[in-house]
Chain A
Amino acid sequence: MAEYVTPTTEQEFAGNFAQLKPLMSNSEALLESSRCLFCFDAPCIKACPSGIDIPLFIRQINSGNATGAARTIYEANYFGNACGKVCPTEVLCEGSCVYTATGAKPIEIGRLQSHATRKVMDQGKHLFQPGAATGFRVAVIGAGPAGISCACELRKLGHEVDVFEARSQPSGLTLYGVAPYKITNEETLAEMAYLEAQFGFRVHYNHAISTRPDLEKLEQAYDVIFLGIGLGHTSPLGLPGEDRENCVGAVEFIEQLRIRQEQTAVGRKVIVLGGGNTAMDAASESARLGAEKVVLAYRRGKEEMGAYEFEYDLAKGVGVQGLFNVAPLEILGNGKVEGVKFVRTATFNGQVQTVPGSEFVEACDMVIKATGQAKKTSFLGLIPELQVDGKGRIVFNPNTGQTTNPRYFASGDAANGGAEVVNAAAEAKAAAHGIHQFLIKS
């Protein structure tokens, strides 16, 4: 892991967290867009959760109409620039590009997408404007990908929108959660400013909606309330020693890294618990912060990890070591974390079972729990008639976003249980149309 020295300056940080998908130059965009075959009924479009007309925007880039390309992208997905950089394209559009069947590398759709959108953003070219005022008012809770996308589309349809956001900045986990080598804070916020300038919704920052009276106020003042609240903090493991210093949740660790990078300290030997994409991110990030050793500990076998293969490859690439078929029993230490006591596991008929007598201790000075985000069930309990399923997800109609309380609509992580930015953006756009139907019918 010697390849990364703990960054102490902004430059060193930028070096360790160099962008995986850097901005394409005009020449590169011309070359890459020229490779596209412009397939009929292109599989890449179908693989994009927001259904961007990919061959169309690539052809637009190729014919010197980057503005038109950006319009094509934004018409389908308001997080067009962010998605180009943070989407797991390997399993979405690029993974389905017909080129993969030839052995040639797929078209770099994500980078082309960000190339076009960055152009209009940098030039401040406005592509949209609010629709004629309808007089309806919608409150959006949460300024993440779901909330902002819903707000944009509602404004386009002419409805008045107020967004209430607990934090001080927009874009949700795009800013607080996504790995810094995927997107920078500057470009995330630039896209938010670009959207706000065109659509003119109001965002009330540092304005959490957390009590029944808060909700009642919204219910009185607005015709519809949209829930784009995402998920909560890292769920506790319920293990002895979990409260020791330097035993942190992955989401909290990453948030710190994104917002206050200079204050983010990493241990010399870090154990990351979990096998999902967040675990991969946290492990990669620890390595890039200069940890000497990073161990990724997962309950089951390597093949059973929830993380995408390319995310694990990325972590391996920066020196992360995998420790499979182990379950943590206790976080050891004296005030501070000093190690994790594990027991080995084996899987019988799909069930993970511990192997008696196989306990061992792995020393470390930091533990990152990447064991999933908690659902916001107690807050959701404040909303009358709103149903939540067994997994804590809001029950909603995926075509309209409508929940079991007809005046409440929802999308994004809070409704789908946790997916990607692109899913939140696409679902919220559909929800805006559901809201629109609801409003014009009422």
Chain B
Amino acid sequence: MPDLSINFAGIKSPNPFWLASAPPTNSGYQVMKAFDAGWGGAVWKTLGVPVVNVSSRYGSVDYRDKRMMGFNNIELISDRPLADNLREIEEVKKRFPHHAVIASLMVQSRQEWHDIVRDAENAGSDGIELNFGCPHGMCERGMGSAVGQEPEVLQTIVEWVMEVARIPVIVKLTPNISDITEPAMAARRGGANAISLINTIQSIVGVDLDLFAPYPIVDGKGSNGGYCGPAVKPIALNMVKNCAQHPDVRLPISGIGGIETWRDAVEHILLGASSVQVCTAAMHYGFGIIREMTSGLEQYMREKGFRTIDDMVGRALPNVKHWEDLNLKYKVTANINPDKCIGCQLCYTACEDGAHQAIKLNSGTRIPEIIDENCVGCNLCSLVCPVEQCITMERRDDGTQHQTWKERTEADDIPVTFNDERAGGLHHWVPEPAAALGKEKHKTLPGKARQFEKVTVTE
């Protein structure tokens, strides 16, 4: 039986799944309900200075019929009185002593930081998270991402906090910066015990085509908001990896961004996160999704033989390399399984128009054929194919050779001609430009192509 419990920079939790600081952790009621449902921890909705909010706060990116592929908000930190929040933290901790309750904080002056850190500790919080991430509203008041984007300011505030903190301190980073490791290193210099990332990404999720205003709309106007949800996972993963690989960061990482299933969580963990936080998925489906997450994680660990979460943390990091370290001798080409092919020809049109003209159609069948000499092994066709495992990328080199760009550069073997084997070498076949004209018009424009021009009648 795998052990899901974690000790994250001294914060203990029965499983690595925490609710991120956001509306699902707005009250003691919600956090208790979440713990009851199986969540391991919760980062309380950010506490700080009094705020006012606007009405109409969220926007969504939908993909066809799928709602909330991406999600954005223009909400601020907690709008509930500090005293209420602190009292409820205390109540939750009494009822759930073994679950992790982390107080997210955001204030301005050194004194305010000292006061609020002490308040959070006195309420029984297991840790503190410093919100240096909010990309709207708070940054205009010199807080949130305004801090996260200035490593020196960030470091100073962390130092203030560390002057009084007796419990672990996590610094939450904003992704609205070109190099995420800069604020991460600043957090370490300031003495923080861990980092968490990412907060939301500055965004406009859409524009109302009738009102000419960005979503969400507040009385005919809108503002940039913070982007999160499934769409941001790739950005979060890359940033988690950057922090995890950087030799000068060396802090436990709480991975956040686009986590909805156990798979997403495992990806964050394999790239270096040792706890994960979830917001949008809980806002979309409620706390019940935790059942799928814990059972999926447990099953995966069992199958892989991982006993603890720590066994898995960062397991993919050694395989994340710079481009120049990849094996240039490795070669795959696409292979279509004709028994599975349903004849949609999406692979054909994708490769023909969007890649390397390496797929052809034969008359009398809807099953396309790969032209091996032209296939550069880009994967595109296998990505567009709607049938599971129908197009597979097969290895074509014999596996005996290995050469990287770095090795070539060091050996002074930089190419002087366009003779890339993966593009068919010097003989790479590209159709004559003019061969494109009129090609397949009857197929690509079937409706319009059905013209009645060439009819002959008896006069």
Identify the A interface with B (CB < 8 A). 30-31, 33-34, 37-43, 45, 51-53, 56, 62, 72, 75-76, 98-99, 101-102, 397, 399-400, 402, 406, 429-430, 433-434, 437-438, 441-442
User: Given contacts A39-B344, A39-B345, A442-B459, are A76 and B452 in contact (CB under 8 A)?
Assistant: no
A434 B457 Cβ-Cβ under 8 A? yes
Closest Cβ of chain A to B369, distance in Å, is 14
CA distance A99 to B386 in the complex (A): 10
> 8 A-B Cβ contacts within 8 A?
A30-B65, A34-B66, A39-B346, A41-B440, A51-B447, A53-B447, A62-B64, A402-B458
- How many B residues have CB within 8 A of the partner chain? 27
Q: What number of residue pairs across chains A and B have CB atoms under 8 A from each other?
A: 84
- Residues of B with C-beta under 8 A to A72: 447
Closest Cβ of chain A to B186, distance in Å, is 45
Could you mark each residue 123-150 of chain B with 1 if its beta carbon is under 8 Å from any beta carbon of chain A, else 0?
0000000000000000000000000000
CA distance A243 to B443 in the complex (A): 55
- Residues of A with C-beta under 8 A to B387: 102
Closest Cβ of chain B to A207, distance in Å, is 28
B443 A41 Cβ-Cβ under 8 A? yes
CA distance A133 to B342 in the complex (A): 48
Partner pick for B343 among A34, A38, A101, A437, CB 8 A cutoff: A101
Is B446's CB within 8 Å of the partner chain A?
yes
User: Given contacts A40-B443, A434-B457, A437-B457, are A99 and B342 in contact (CB under 8 A)?
Assistant: yes
B386 A402 Cβ-Cβ under 8 A? no
* Nearest chain A residue, comparing its CB with the CB of B452: A433
B342 A102 Cβ-Cβ under 8 A? yes
Closest Cβ of chain A to B410, distance in Å, is 45
- Residues of A with C-beta under 8 A to B459: 406, 438, 441-442
Is B455's CB within 8 Å of the partner chain A?
yes
- Residues of B with C-beta under 8 A to A62: 64
Instruction: Mark out the residues of chain B between 431 and 459 whose CB falls within 8 Å of any chain A CB in the assembled complex.
Output: 440, 443-448, 450, 452, 455-459
User: Given contacts A45-B446, A72-B447, are A37 and B386 in contact (CB under 8 A)?
Assistant: yes
* Nearest chain A residue, comparing its CB with the CB of B64: A34
Instruction: Mark out the residues of chain B between 323 and 380 whose CB falls within 8 Å of any chain A CB in the assembled complex.
Output: 342-346, 348-349, 366
Main secondary structure of the interface of B (DSSP, over half): loop
CA distance A33 to B66 in the complex (A): 12
* Nearest chain B residue, comparing its CB with the CB of A76: B447
- Residues of B with C-beta under 8 A to A397: 457
User: Given contacts A34-B64, A438-B457, are A98 and B342 in contact (CB under 8 A)?
Assistant: yes
| Given A51-B450, A53-B445, A434-B457, 12 other A-B residues pairs in contact with their CB atoms under 8 A | A37-B344, A38-B346, A39-B345, A40-B346, A40-B348, A52-B447, A62-B64, A72-B447, A433-B455, A437-B456, A438-B457, A438-B458
- Residues of A with C-beta under 8 A to B457: 397, 400, 402, 406, 434, 437-438, 441
CA distance A39 to B367 in the complex (A): 12
CA distance A51 to B449 in the complex (A): 10
* Nearest chain A residue, comparing its CB with the CB of B453: A433
- Residues of A with C-beta under 8 A to B440: 41
CA distance A42 to B442 in the complex (A): 11
* Nearest chain A residue, comparing its CB with the CB of B459: A441
- Residues of A with C-beta under 8 A to B66: 34
Partner pick for A40 among B344, B452, B456, CB 8 A cutoff: B344
B455 A434 Cβ-Cβ under 8 A? yes
Partner pick for A53 among B64, B343, B446, CB 8 A cutoff: B446
* Nearest chain A residue, comparing its CB with the CB of B348: A40
CA distance A437 to B342 in the complex (A): 41
CA distance A101 to B344 in the complex (A): 10
Among A41, A45, A53, the most chain B Cβ lie within 10 Å of the Cβ of A41
The 4 A-B pairs at the shortest CB distance, nearest first, are namely A53-B447, A433-B452, A34-B65, A34-B64
Closest Cβ of chain B to A72, distance in Å, is 6
- Residues of B with C-beta under 8 A to A429: 452
Among B346, B349, B450, the most chain A Cβ lie within 10 Å of the Cβ of B450
User: Given contacts A75-B447, A99-B342, A101-B342, are A43 and B455 in contact (CB under 8 A)?
Assistant: no
- Residues of B with C-beta under 8 A to A39: 343-346
- Residues of B with C-beta under 8 A to A33: 64-65
CA distance A62 to B455 in the complex (A): 35
Closest Cβ of chain A to B191, distance in Å, is 51
CA distance A53 to B342 in the complex (A): 20
A42 B346 Cβ-Cβ under 8 A? no
Closest Cβ of chain B to A239, distance in Å, is 44
- Residues of A with C-beta under 8 A to B346: 37-40
- Residues of B with C-beta under 8 A to A53: 445-448
CA distance A98 to B64 in the complex (A): 20
CA distance A397 to B448 in the complex (A): 23
CA distance A40 to B344 in the complex (A): 6
CA distance A437 to B455 in the complex (A): 7
Partner pick for B447 among A40, A56, A98, A406, CB 8 A cutoff: A56
B446 A406 Cβ-Cβ under 8 A? no
- Residues of A with C-beta under 8 A to B445: 53
- Residues of A with C-beta under 8 A to B450: 51, 76
B345 A41 Cβ-Cβ under 8 A? yes
Closest Cβ of chain B to A212, distance in Å, is 23
Closest Cβ of chain B to A367, distance in Å, is 45
CA distance A98 to B345 in the complex (A): 10
- Residues of A with C-beta under 8 A to B444: 40-41
Closest Cβ of chain B to A53, distance in Å, is 3
* Nearest chain B residue, comparing its CB with the CB of A399: B455
Closest Cβ of chain A to B286, distance in Å, is 21
- Residues of A with C-beta under 8 A to B343: 39, 43, 98, 101
- Residues of A with C-beta under 8 A to B446: 41-42, 45, 51, 53
CA distance A62 to B346 in the complex (A): 18
- Residues of B with C-beta under 8 A to A43: 343, 366
Instruction: Mark out the residues of chain B between 399 and 418 whose CB falls within 8 Å of any chain A CB in the assembled complex.
Output: none
* Nearest chain B residue, comparing its CB with the CB of A99: B342
Closest Cβ of chain B to A138, distance in Å, is 14
- Residues of B with C-beta under 8 A to A98: 342-344
Instruction: Mark out the residues of chain B between 62 and 106 whose CB falls within 8 Å of any chain A CB in the assembled complex.
Output: 64-66
CA distance A101 to B385 in the complex (A): 14
Partner pick for A400 among B65, B386, B456, CB 8 A cutoff: B456
- Residues of A with C-beta under 8 A to B458: 402, 406, 438
CA distance A31 to B445 in the complex (A): 25
Closest Cβ of chain A to B427, distance in Å, is 28
- Residues of B with C-beta under 8 A to A34: 64-66
- Residues of A with C-beta under 8 A to B366: 43
- Residues of A with C-beta under 8 A to B448: 53
CA distance A51 to B448 in the complex (A): 10
CA distance A434 to B457 in the complex (A): 6
Closest Cβ of chain A to B340, distance in Å, is 9
Closest Cβ of chain B to A71, distance in Å, is 10
CA distance A434 to B344 in the complex (A): 34
CA distance A101 to B456 in the complex (A): 40
Could you mark each residue 237-250 of chain B with 1 if its beta carbon is under 8 Å from any beta carbon of chain A, else 0?
00000000000000
CA distance A433 to B444 in the complex (A): 23
A400 B342 Cβ-Cβ under 8 A? no
Closest Cβ of chain B to A38, distance in Å, is 8
- Residues of A with C-beta under 8 A to B345: 39-41
- Residues of A with C-beta under 8 A to B452: 429-430, 433-434
